[in-house]
Structure 1
């Protein structure tokens, strides 16, 4: 591996770790992550999906992967649906001169 490729991998790994930490910090601040891990989640998933998600997030642990994925889903905003509901919300005669 070249030095440039190694630097890129390090940069991507550090960015992924920062993103993961931010998501978990936000989930914790929202009261979604308590002290105890008190629910067991079990699922049969395609190995390729799990491997790709772990690779992208730079995570080795199934538990950590699920915690980050569920936190992202729980914290996801509803900007898209709100935007779609506003369709047609601007009067036709309104002058939008740019």
Structure 2
């Protein structure tokens, strides 16, 4: 959240979103994050998406680029 705040993603709350979400999903997400507020949980989830490092996309783009002579020890 500090990173999101640092780049200005949390400056003002000027938008409202609504949706129906499974209570089990909310409960588990709150338990894993330690976040109690629904609003803070949504902000945390959205910040994680906005700040994602695209690891999966980059990893897939590198397919086949490892040197075939590299000893992976198996």
The two structures have a TM-score, normalised by structure 1, of 0.64
CA distance in 1, matches of 2:58, 2:67: 18
- Matched with 2:33 is 57
Give the length in aligned residue pairs.
Answer: 72
Which structure's CA Rg is the greater one? 1
1:91 Cα deviation after fit: 5.6
1:54 Cα deviation after fit: 1.0
Structure 2: give runs of 5+ residues left out of the alignment: none
CA 1:53–1:97 in 2, change beyond 3 Å: closer, same or farther? closer
Runs of 4+ in 1 over 4 A off after TM superposition: none
1:19-98 matches, cutoff 5 A: 24-34=1-11, 36-90=12-66, 92=68, 95-97=69-71
RMSD: 1.7
Structure 1: give runs of 5+ residues left out of the alignment: 1-23
Out of 56-65 and 81-90, give the one that drifted further. 81-90
Bigger fraction of residues in helix: 1
1:83 Cα deviation after fit: 1.6
